[in-house]
Amino acid sequence: MEPGQQRPHEPARLSDLQDWKVRLEVLLEDFDDHPENLDPEAANIQTGLVIPTYQVMKTDVAKASGQLWDNDSRQDFRTKYRAVATKWITYKSALAVLDRAPEGSTAHVDAMERLEEPRSGYIDALLDFYEVFSATLGFLFPP
């Protein structure tokens, strides 16, 4: 933030955003070593962390920050969100294939192997999204 620039009013859901930021940080640290841990919680993460984060940022935070959050940075944040959303569609399909395959069958083993690429694609996109989100939040609402 430049000297003389006014700190934006804190949006009502700032504490939610801070909570989601910490959760994403902890999860991404874990996925670094155990990416497979994402599978059972992936839908919760997408619908309970990523989507609400994007929605609150584009409404409450955009309104509270005014011109302080410039257009290029907003565009970058949107792009990162869309990348996560796109990767989620592919990953979700691969998870559904795994769910349908009987445990212990060849189809199950194949589905597990085919899941690795969409999963890592999703984690990479999630990390990019988190980094932009975290930097924006830290810039607009420094501790």
Q: Which is nearer to another protein, 10 or 39 (CB)?
A: 39
Structure tokens of 1? 């933030």
Helix (H, G, I), strand (E, B) or coil at 9: coil
Q: What is the DSSP letter of 46?
A: I
Q: Which is nearer to another protein, 28 or 76 (CB)?
A: 28
Q: Which is nearer to another protein, 19 or 70 (CB)?
A: 19
Alpha-carbon distance 57 to 114, whole Å?
Answer: 34
Do residues 26 and 52 make contact, with C-beta atoms less than 8 angstroms apart?
no
Packing angle, helices 14-33 and 106-140, rounded to 10: 140
Alpha-carbon distance 143 to 137, whole Å?
Answer: 10
Alpha-carbon distance 52 to 45, whole Å?
Answer: 10
Stretch that binds another protein, among 21-29, 60-68, 83-91, 123-131 (CB under 8 A): 21-29
Closest approach, Cβ 81 to another protein, in A, equals 17
Residue 107 in contact with another protein, rule: CB under 8 A: no
Residue 103 in contact with another protein, rule: CB under 8 A: yes
Residue 70 in contact with another protein, rule: CB under 8 A: no
* Interface pick for another protein out of 11, 13, 17, 49 (rule CB under 8 A): 49
Residue 17 in contact with another protein, rule: CB under 8 A: no
Binding residues for another protein, rule: CB under 8 A, are 18-19, 22-23, 26-27, 30, 36-37, 39-41, 44-45, 48-49, 103
